[in-house]
Amino acid sequence: MSEDSKELAHAGSFGMEVHFHDNHCKRSSFVKVLTGMIFDIANQLEAKGGMIGHVKLIAQTDAGFVKMSVVDIRLGVETVDELKGEAGEKGSIKLMAVVLGLEDGTVEETVGEALTHLGGCMDYHLAGHDCDHDH
């Protein structure tokens, strides 16, 4: 296979997984924080000249999961909320962004900056680090 479809599409992408614990936000605030974060990422990527392919996340907690998706900022954030009861105290967030017309590094930087949204609700860290938390 000589063609690389990502290069052919001039696409940049970045994916990451965050682990969180001590989430003190209620379900509505938790969803609002995630909504703000994913929309901020999409908005910033467009502002930097990219065309959103797909920005999506799944937050899995001890109370269920929330899936969010942005394909066009005019449509806002599409949410599937399958949490049972409250948001849950700990869990993980997997996030993936694919954008046409931007480099991987720009997408990574944009996603990294938007992570600060989470700070209002929880302690978090990137998956794969060494820590002594129970998660």
Nearer to another protein among residue 95 and residue 122 (C-beta) = 95
- Are β-strands 51-61 and 11-21 bridged in parallel, bridged antiparallel, or unpaired? unpaired
Residues found near another protein in the complex (CB under 8 A): 1, 3-6, 8-9, 11, 13-17, 51-54, 56-58, 60, 65, 67, 69, 71-72, 75, 78, 82, 94-96, 98, 100
Nearer to another protein among residue 33 and residue 38 (C-beta) = 38
Nearer to another protein among residue 13 and residue 44 (C-beta) = 13
CB of residue 55 to another protein, shortest distance in Å: 9
CB of residue 103 to another protein, shortest distance in Å: 14
Give the whole-angstrom CA distance, residue 62 versus residue 46.
33
- Distance between alpha carbon 13 and the CA centroid of its chain, in Å? 12
- Cα dist from 15 to 3, 85, 107, 127, whole Å: 22, 28, 9, 11
Nearer to another protein among residue 8 and residue 130 (C-beta) = 8
CB of residue 22 to another protein, shortest distance in Å: 22
- By three-state DSSP, how is residue 29 classified? helix
Give the whole-angstrom CA distance, residue 130 versus residue 19.
12
CB of residue 122 to another protein, shortest distance in Å: 19
In the chain, the N- to C-terminal Cα span, in Å, equals: 41
Nearer to another protein among residue 56 and residue 90 (C-beta) = 56
Residue 77: closest CA among 117, 128, 113: 117
CB of residue 16 to another protein, shortest distance in Å: 6
Task: Specify whether the CB–CB gap between 44 and 108 falls below 8 A.
Answer: no
